[in-house]
Amino acid sequence: MKYFFLLGALIVSVCSFAQVDTTQLKSLYDRCLDFSEDKIDSIHYYAEYISKEANQLNFNKGNVLSLRLKGIYEDLSNNYEKAIEYYLQSLQAARLIKAPEYEMAALSDLAIAYFAIREPGKAKEFYLQCARMSEADGKIPSLINTYNNLAVIYTQLKQYDSSRLLLNKAVQLGKNLDRQGKVSLSSTYNNLGNLYFKEKKYDEALPYFWHNLMRHSNDGDYSGLWVARLNLADIYIEKHHFDSATKYAQSALELAQRLESKSKEADSYSILAKLYEYQNKYNKAYQYIKKWYSLDTAILHSDTYKSIAALQERFHASEREAENKLLQEKIEKETVRTRELSLVAGALAIIGILIAIGFVMKRNAHRRLQETNNLIVQQNEKLSELNYEKNSLISIVSHDLNTPFATIQIWGQVLQNDADRLTAEQQKAMARIVQAGLYGERLIRQILDVEREDIGNHKMKLEKFDLRAFAEEMVDNFKPMADKKHIRLHAEATGKKVFILSDRYLVGRICENLLSNAIKYTTQGKKVWMSIHDDQDHISIKVRDEGVGIEKEELPYLFSKYSKISSRPTDGETSNGLGLSIVKRIVEEINGRISCESEIGVGSVFTVMLKK
């Protein structure tokens, strides 16, 4: 699919030119290439203007420029049949005046258009021609662009090794120029992310999509920002991070509608349908599928393929005719007439065949779509059954495991009560047994919390309580744990009472987890703070430490299930990767938000924001 990125819309009033020359026409053409999709009417206007002025100035490149702009106008209007017709004419005109730079542009335009209508094989033919010309020309920006586009085709054709080779070439060529701001490698990084996505290597793809999101957020490239958001939504769907997927899918749809791009809007509906299908919300998925289908079929349908194929045949016929003009003086008129009749007959036969093929393709496509829909329904039913069985198994196993761990704790405490008969080494071993029993029981509870769709069997109980006093109580409870590591634990709050209406038990679980983690990851002799802040419409709870810190690259995964980070507790304490995912779920359950800021060697700050 072809996207024209917004580099800054600049409308030039051509009527203000006192006297137009060829340099001004070329400058106007270059500016038109930077227009965004909402300026397509201007592109068509200036295409006609360039054609008219070029004829008066006898500017031989004017026809090439005008034809290409007309093709871009039709392309942005999703009229691919007309766009390809203009691109073919532009290619022919460029070859006639021997202008290789415009010939490469026309080849690239044709390849992108064929890729948009789901014909990657045809797109590959044009890109290979373009690549040979770019390599002969030796201009690095042109080479990077060609390698990028050809890599997309290879990815579409599942030739992943060829795609990776070309993308790595593009990175090596443009790395220094990208740092200098002379070229942009954002498309290359996006394509590398898509390549890893196709190979189902989602964790390797994610950094590339995040890189482009940050880049386009800063440079105001809204088309690029839309691509980054859609890619992030898709990858979070595959990773089953549905909250993040929903956020980026919805924002991609809003941006597509703002850009007034039907193709982007159609793709946004498609990703939303996939999101809700993965969550077994089939009614919503069906609604988005209908929206996608109504847009996608309006943009492209089987009749378009038929017309474009006939158009391509006419172009090749015109090229052959141009080559044969040199021989026309050496053959007799009757031979020419016979050859023309043969060409007409052949063209009619081809058109008839294409019409028949188009009809069969349309019928087969409808049948395959029906079969696919039936298969999806069956697979979703099976997945639902498997998910139910998995949850049941987890509940049974966890319940059964609770008994032996409880038994270990009971007998361990019995033996500890009679500790006078045990040696110091035996007492130490017994303490470890009891501690292991407690840890096992707590781990089972956490696994159940993570896997269940609700927060255990806890029934929400709202009450109004003083959060300042609550924080002081929490800090007092954790002082023995902090004293073991000589950590100074502080509670910070304003002098006045800070009341909140919430579930005291769930708020307590949040604070317990955050304080426990802060102490675990802080070295001996350092400090940990818990503070309460009363803002206008919300109250924030902050837990700050002087601990080991967290790598910036690991922050996006911090609240995921079973996530493991490179940072480790300072005194060998245990960490199973479940606590923060449970905290996030509890925070969302009471309509709040949680975030983290961290720096290696300095410490971390966890902030929970709760509505009043």
Q: Confirm if 103 and 140 have CB atoms less than 8 A apart.
A: no
Residue 404 backbone dihedrals phi, psi, to 5 degrees: -65, -35
CA-closest candidate to residue 185, choices 171, 203, 166:
171
Q: Is the pLDDT of residue 221 over 90?
A: no
Rounded Cα distance between 549 and 563, Å, is 16
| 3: confidence class by pLDDT, cuts 50, 70, 90 | very low
pLDDT per residue over 466-505, tens digit each? 999 999 999 998 998 899 899 999 988 766 888 999 999 9
Give the whole-number percent of the chain exceeding pLDDT 70: 79
Can you tell me the mean pLDDT for 317-324?
A: 56
Quick one: which of 477, 449, 434, 440 has its CA closest to 578? 449
End-to-end CA distance of the chain: 47
The mean per-residue pLDDT over the stretch 348-368 comes to: 79
Interval 183-210 mean pLDDT: 90
What does DSSP say about strands 527-534 and 488-492: parallel, antiparallel, or unpaired? parallel
CA 481, CA 384: separation in Å to the nearest integer?
44
Q: Are 206 and 189 in contact (CB under 8 A)?
A: no
**pLDDT tens-digit map of 390-438:** 555 555 555 556 567 766 766 777 677 776 777 888 877 877 787 777 7
* 472-to-494, 510, 531 alpha-carbon distances in Å: 12, 15, 9
pLDDT average, residue stretch 62-72: 90
- 263 or 329, which is more confident: 263
pTM of the prediction? 0.40
In 3-state terms, what secondary structure has residue 410? helix
- pLDDT reading at 83 higher than 60: yes
What value does the mean pLDDT of the chain take? 80
Distance separating alpha carbons of residues 385 and 392, to the nearest angstrom: 11
Residue 566 DSSP code: S
Q: What is the mean pLDDT of residues 126-152?
A: 83
Q: Rounded to whole angstroms, how far apart are CA atoms 228 and 219?
A: 13
Question: In Å, how far are 236, 262, 310 from 123, measured between CA atoms?
Answer: 30, 22, 16
pLDDT at 521: 92
pLDDT at 9: 27
- The 3-state DSSP class for residue 158 equals coil
pLDDT of 210 reads 92
Residue 229, pLDDT > 80, answer yes
Q: For position 278, what pLDDT does the model report?
A: 92
* Least confident stretch, 13-17, 319-323, 339-343, 598-602: 13-17
More confident site: 342 or 254: 254
Find the mean pLDDT for residues 21-25: 86
Q: Which pLDDT tens digit goes with each residue over 560-584?
A: 776 667 778 877 776 666 678 889 9
pLDDT tens profile 232-248: 999 999 999 999 999 99
- What integer pLDDT is reported at residue 545 of this predicted model? 95
